[in-house]
Structure 1
Amino acid sequence: MLVVFGIILLALVLFVTEWLPIDVTAILVMVLLMVLGADGVVNFTEISTAEGTSGFSNSATITVLAMLILSSGISQTGVVQIIGRKMSAFAGDDLDKQLLATIGVSGPISGFINNTPVVAILVPVVSDIAHKGKTSPSKLLIPLSYASMFGGMLTLIGTSTNILASDVSARLLDHPFSMFEFTQLGIIVLLVGSLYLMTVGHRLLPERVPVEEDYVQEYAIEEYLTEVVVDDDSPIIGTTVAEAIDHVEFDADIIQVVRDDEEFIEPIGQKTIRAGDLLRLRADRGTVQQLVDRETLTLSGSPETDDDLEPDEAPDRTLVEVVVPRGSFLVGESLESSTFRQRYDATVLAFRSRGETVREDMDERRIRVGDTLLVQAAPDSIDRLSQNDDFIVAHEPEEPDYRSEKIPHAVAIMAGVVGFVAVPWGAVGAALAGATGVAAFEAMSALSLPILVTALAGVVAMVATGVLKPTEIYDAVEWDVIFLLAGIIPLGMALEQTGGADLLGSLVAATGAYLPIIGVLWVFYLATGLITGVISNNASVVLMLPVAVETADQIGANPFAFVLAVTFAASTAFLTPVGYQTNLFVYGPGGYKFMDFVRVGAPLQLLLSVVTVLGIAFFWGL
């Protein structure tokens, strides 16, 4: 038991500090459980090799994998983006309508498409709504993330946390979740949470991003942008832009060349520098002075706005924000090691990481999930970025490449995936047999299609109908989430088998001497919410559910009520930007500080803790 607690403590430290990526931490946990398990060096954790690797074959892991692919198929058709553009037309420049449209689309859709890709799809849509409606994106992006969490609790498939909790509930209580197990409470949470965001929440949000969007001023990079003129005797004449500045010695980039009133942006790496060229540099003042002293350049001025950096003749954007999601090749890399510039002919002017704006020494900084890069590139390079799942470009492309003709196929497939699980086949079979007298219909009463089967069938159908190409199904999977699930599931098993869950349950059950059952249930909701704020939502479910069930057993309460409290709390993590992936997606584009999530999320978490606990007591009993 102590060994398992030690492994849990190690995992928590690594999750919080991010010394290792979360999926690597999960695999480390799995390895430690097996090395110290039944087939390892010593039998401390009681986990056999088969149990240690069982997370890979677990139905929750495979179901989440299939749902990620199905969500990708939906996004490829552009149906969510089309709905988003319609909501943009409805919203106009009225903030209340913008909020209503944002919440009204992201919430319900997140009940049937995994809420993480929904937010990834809608970040550029909502950013454009804010831009066109003269509203700060800061007022809309946290509501977008929170609303997707509300919607995720409408059905079993709304979030990977629900699917994982269903699997754990099936193992502990022999009670997996049905498709609409908690929909009635999910609707209440969605309505109450939406009302809070519409009335109180948005008033607590500051306008971090200026209404008049100007990236140069927003990222405060004016002093890092300088114009120099190449003198007649400069030693860099005749060299290419890529060769002109030694990146090892100088933290500087040539981001534009102006020649004879013509402005050249990326790709300019192979453009030869001539005397009289005006070069726009990204560098601090000290570096610029060194370059002027060594390279015979003459200072000219500084670009002060976006317009100074975007050529008049350019038909599309050349400055965009790019969010780094989980699974991106940039995660864990630096700009130097990832060769991002070379791949996309793009220059990073600055980036935001966990609320900090980085403008110097960017090449060596490790990039993390949720970081937002301010990128300058040619329009075709920006189009390539927007079409790549490694990035979320915070503005929609002018001519998006969607498979809109496949929308009917994709919608029908998702309806089938949900419908075949939701249909009560036993009742249907009995009714048909009674009405027709055909005994064969009685066989339907034994028919039961789990979500695992229908989701995998949906993947096959999407490929067969051309909604997805065969090669796209591998890119659609967020492999770090799959490895996280595979590595963390055995930890929950070890907690149960060594008696750790029983011990923790006894400690929490002691509060039953002072609190009624509903009070203990409320404690579990709050504790899960706090833990999820610092580690992943899936990890908190795996750790808290066994303890919740043991506690319920020891105080004579309904264990399923405790399972639901933990599930709702883990799936609605509002307190911090790192507890839930959708919060990370909006962290950078909204220009938020860490405390913005606490300011808006803490009252919401407290409000929903009361609503959820009372709802569980009413619908399922204690």
Structure 2
Amino acid sequence: MNAELLLVLAMLLLCMGCFAANKPRTDVVALVVLAVFPLTGLLTVQQTLAGFSDPAVILIAALFVVGDGLVRTGIVYRLGDWLVRVSGNSEIRLLVLLMLSVAALGSIMSSTGVVAIFIPVVLSICARLHIAPGRLMMPLAFAALISGMQTLVATPPNMVVQSELQRQGLDGFHFFSFTPIGLVVLLLGVGYMLLARRWLNPQLEPGQTGAPRLKLSDLARNYRLKERELRLKVLPGSSLLDQQLNELALRKEFGINVVAIERQQKFRTLLLNATGNTLVEPQDILLVDLADPAMDLLPVCQQLGLEPQPLSHSYFSFHAHELGLAEVAFPPESSLPGKTIQQLAFRSQYKLNVVGLRRRGEALPGVLVDEVLQPADKLLVAGNWRDIHQLQQQSRDFLVLSLPAEVDEVTPAARKAPHALFCLALMVLLMVSGIVPNVVAALITCLLMGALRCIDLNSAYQAIHWPSLILIIGMLPFALALQQTGGIDLAVSSLLYLVGERGDYALLAALFVLTAVTGSFVSNTATAVLMAPVAVSLANSLGASPYPFAMMVALAASAAFMTPVSSPINTLVLQPGKYKFFDFVRIGTPFTLLVLLVSVLLVPLLFPLYPA
């Protein structure tokens, strides 16, 4: 062992200690590495900074942007809505659908982002079903980790391994090379969590009710909206057709306040905010707020050509990603108290509808448009989230008091969901066909999403998780330095000495264990950067195919089930699930052994060790 190798190993151990302690941040450690390598003379500046032009790094950045496009267009949230609707009151059905949905979504976008999106969804469901969040948070995390085993682009370690194969002049894996093994692991994971959930906080702790933030349903209940909500279909020949809402004066004449309009198009339902100049068209569904819930609606519907439609639950909850509610008060300097709601002209001036009025803590029945407002009154306004945010800027006359938790799920490009799905399908098609390199396919998808207004430049740059990219770029020089100083050869010879006599399957298992154990305390991406060259060199020393060895590293890097610090995914669910460190050890370790067994059995079948 030479002095240069000792220096590289010392730097590597120091970095791993910093990663395990999370002090300083991982990206800061990576930047320090980039500065130190040229100073030591181990690598040139060009070699140290080569990661900035690595195709795998660019591909990962592009996939962050694609994932943000799926969020901005509401595709991700619609999946969550479907999960809530289909699962009903069954915890078993919920767990199965949750894991399958998260694994599917995580196979094409950042699994960390998927978990962050689904945590409030799961908390809300747990509160409704009165079950402890701990029974579902770990299945959520496990499914997100398993999603990394579904496709080539599902997780950065896969692309790091792919990049190493290509650096060696090999073709690398295909888009669905991981899928057969990943599906088996996913099915095992669902079955395992159905059994293991009984050991995950089975009792709901006193006062543990899920998300504490105010929700749309809370505002609707406080202002007694539920009893006044209604859906009315505009029939052919209706007297409302082709007229603007302001001209119809439905609120003044009939006590009907139109909040929004559902308009059916070819492939989707379009939600229109009801403004004064909105035209009514045939087959429109009017989402209305009645001034008097006890009013006789039959003669009004007959006169206007309307037909009541089913309403299983609040339309505010159903359209929460586009249609919002906000509680508004009057600051002391406001000039509006003393006026009536009609005189405020909310719809024409602010594109919002007043749907509730509270006075001295009590909701008045209906919305009394001629009621004179008092300084201490609170109004509930409804409309597009964008217009609600603009109302916040009117600090002189209005003070927005409460924005519900659903504001975090706003989908500013909801109408572009079909375009986003088209872009996603195109990316998968290009990657599967191999017409262009994967990184080019991802860049084409990003540009197309931008051209179709699924994303904008600001959101695209914000979507990229720069610390993750810097970590990869900072760890790549270690692989080159270990190779040049003999560290890779040392690792390979050590593995051959310890388990080589026990056969190729033992070597595959040892490689998996070494990668999984290292990844339990160090970033799985950094682990893949270090272990991928070892896998390829180990295969070359045996005269075997590098693909099964590289696949074992990729699978083991995703098998980060054993500690809460092994992946940001586990860290995210730690607090909502009320877990302790040992919970991951006792639940994650047996499952990691199952994944090890599946990998050792299936990988050589799909990727022969010694191809003919």
In 1, Cα distance between equivalents of 2:94 and 2:67: 25
Q: Which residue of structure 1 lines up, in the alignment, with residue 579 of structure 2?
A: 592
Residue 172 of structure 1 contacts residue 546 of structure 1 at CA under 8 Å; is this kept in 2?
Answer: no
2:403 is aligned, of 380, 384, 387, to: 380
Give the partner amino acid of 1:521: L
In 2, Cα distance between equivalents of 1:605 and 1:270: 61
* Partner deviation per Cα, 1:24-70 (whole Å, 9 max, x = no partner): 11111222212112xxxxxxx2x211010011111111110000011
Aligned counterparts, 1:37-52, within 5 A: 37=41, 45=42, 47-52=43-48
CA gap of 1:216–1:540, structure 2 versus 1, over 3 A, is closer
Measured after TM superposition, the shift of residue 381 of structure 1 is 7.9
1:408 counterpart = 2:443: no
* Partner deviation per Cα, 1:214-235 (whole Å, 9 max, x = no partner): 4799xxxxxxxxxxxxxxxxxx
Q: Which residue of structure 1 lines up, in the alignment, with residue 201 of structure 2?
A: 206
Give the partner amino acid of 2:426: G
CA gap of 1:408–1:211, structure 2 versus 1, over 3 A, is farther
**Counterpart secondary structure, 2:23:** coil
* Partner deviation per Cα, 1:474-508 (whole Å, 9 max, x = no partner): 11111101111111111111111211010111011
Aligned counterparts, 1:216-615, within 5 A: 379-380=402-403, 386=408, 400-423=410-433, 448-615=435-602
Q: Which residue of structure 2 lines up, in the alignment, with residue 288 of structure 1?
A: none
Q: Which residue of structure 1 lines up, in the alignment, with residue 130 of structure 2?
A: 134
Q: Which residue of structure 1 lines up, in the alignment, with residue 254 of structure 2?
A: none
Measured after TM superposition, the shift of residue 554 of structure 1 is 2.8
**Counterpart secondary structure, 1:187:** helix
In 1, Cα distance between equivalents of 2:18 and 2:132: 35
1:55 counterpart = 2:51: yes
Q: Which residue of structure 2 lines up, in the alignment, with residue 440 of structure 1?
A: none
CA gap of 1:96–1:9, structure 2 versus 1, over 3 A, is same
Residue 114 of structure 1 contacts residue 157 of structure 1 at CA under 8 Å; is this kept in 2?
Answer: no
CA gap of 1:35–1:143, structure 2 versus 1, over 3 A, is same
Residue 500 of structure 2 contacts residue 507 of structure 2 at CA under 8 Å; is this kept in 1?
Answer: no
Residue 517 of structure 1 contacts residue 557 of structure 1 at CA under 8 Å; is this kept in 2?
Answer: no
* Partner deviation per Cα, 1:538-579 (whole Å, 9 max, x = no partner): 100011112222223334443221111011000121011111
Residue 71 of structure 2 contacts residue 411 of structure 2 at CA under 8 Å; is this kept in 1?
Answer: no
1:23 counterpart = 2:10: no
Residue 525 of structure 2 contacts residue 557 of structure 2 at CA under 8 Å; is this kept in 1?
Answer: yes
Q: Identity rate of aligned residues, in percent?
A: 30
CA gap of 1:270–1:210, structure 2 versus 1, over 3 A, is farther
1:6 counterpart = 2:13: no
Structure 1 unaligned segments of length 5 or more: list them.
38-44, 218-264, 272-310, 317-376, 387-396, 425-447
Alpha-carbon RMSD across the aligned residues, in angstroms, is: 2.9
2:60 is aligned, of 59, 64, 67, to: 64
Measured after TM superposition, the shift of residue 124 of structure 1 is 1.3
Measured after TM superposition, the shift of residue 23 of structure 1 is 0.5
In 1, Cα distance between equivalents of 2:47 and 2:530: 16
In 2, Cα distance between equivalents of 1:488 and 1:99: 37
In 2, Cα distance between equivalents of 1:143 and 1:173: 39
Measured after TM superposition, the shift of residue 203 of structure 1 is 2.2
* Partner deviation per Cα, 1:307-338 (whole Å, 9 max, x = no partner): xxxx998999xxxxxxxxxxxxxxxxxxxxxx
Give the partner amino acid of 1:213: Q
* Partner deviation per Cα, 1:233-285 (whole Å, 9 max, x = no partner): xxxxxxxxxxxxxxxxxxxxxxxxxxxxxxxx9999999xxxxxxxxxxxxxx
Give the partner amino acid of 1:201: A
CA gap of 1:182–1:173, structure 2 versus 1, over 3 A, is farther
**Counterpart secondary structure, 1:455:** helix
Measured after TM superposition, the shift of residue 195 of structure 1 is 1.8
Count of residue pairs brought into register by the alignment: 434
Structure number with bigger Rg? 2
Give the partner amino acid of 1:9: L
CA gap of 1:501–1:132, structure 2 versus 1, over 3 A, is same
In 2, Cα distance between equivalents of 1:180 and 1:80: 22
Give the partner amino acid of 1:13: G
**Counterpart secondary structure, 1:5:** helix
Residue 511 of structure 1 contacts residue 520 of structure 1 at CA under 8 Å; is this kept in 2?
Answer: no
Residue 165 of structure 1 contacts residue 542 of structure 1 at CA under 8 Å; is this kept in 2?
Answer: yes
Measured after TM superposition, the shift of residue 112 of structure 1 is 1.8
Measured after TM superposition, the shift of residue 175 of structure 1 is 3.3
**Counterpart secondary structure, 1:503:** helix
Residue 209 of structure 1 contacts residue 591 of structure 1 at CA under 8 Å; is this kept in 2?
Answer: no
Residue 139 of structure 1 contacts residue 205 of structure 1 at CA under 8 Å; is this kept in 2?
Answer: yes
CA gap of 1:422–1:122, structure 2 versus 1, over 3 A, is same
Measured after TM superposition, the shift of residue 514 of structure 1 is 3.9
Give the partner amino acid of 2:166: A
CA gap of 1:208–1:56, structure 2 versus 1, over 3 A, is farther
Give the partner amino acid of 2:555: F
Give the partner amino acid of 2:591: L
* Partner deviation per Cα, 1:364-395 (whole Å, 9 max, x = no partner): xxxxxxxxxxxxx95328566x2xxxxxxxxx
In 1, Cα distance between equivalents of 2:575 and 2:76: 22
Task: Give the structure-2-normalised TM-score.
Answer: 0.66
CA gap of 1:473–1:596, structure 2 versus 1, over 3 A, is same
In 2, Cα distance between equivalents of 1:529 and 1:187: 19
Aligned counterparts, 1:40-119, within 5 A: 45=42, 47-119=43-115
CA gap of 1:472–1:12, structure 2 versus 1, over 3 A, is same
Residue 115 of structure 1 contacts residue 159 of structure 1 at CA under 8 Å; is this kept in 2?
Answer: yes
1:184 counterpart = 2:194: no
**Counterpart secondary structure, 1:548:** helix
In 1, Cα distance between equivalents of 2:455 and 2:466: 18
In 2, Cα distance between equivalents of 1:312 and 1:589: 34
Task: Give the structure-1-normalised TM-score.
Answer: 0.65
Measured after TM superposition, the shift of residue 208 of structure 1 is 7.3
In 1, Cα distance between equivalents of 2:145 and 2:529: 19
2:163 is aligned, of 158, 164, 167, to: 167
Give the partner amino acid of 1:109: L
CA gap of 1:584–1:4, structure 2 versus 1, over 3 A, is same
**Counterpart secondary structure, 1:8:** helix
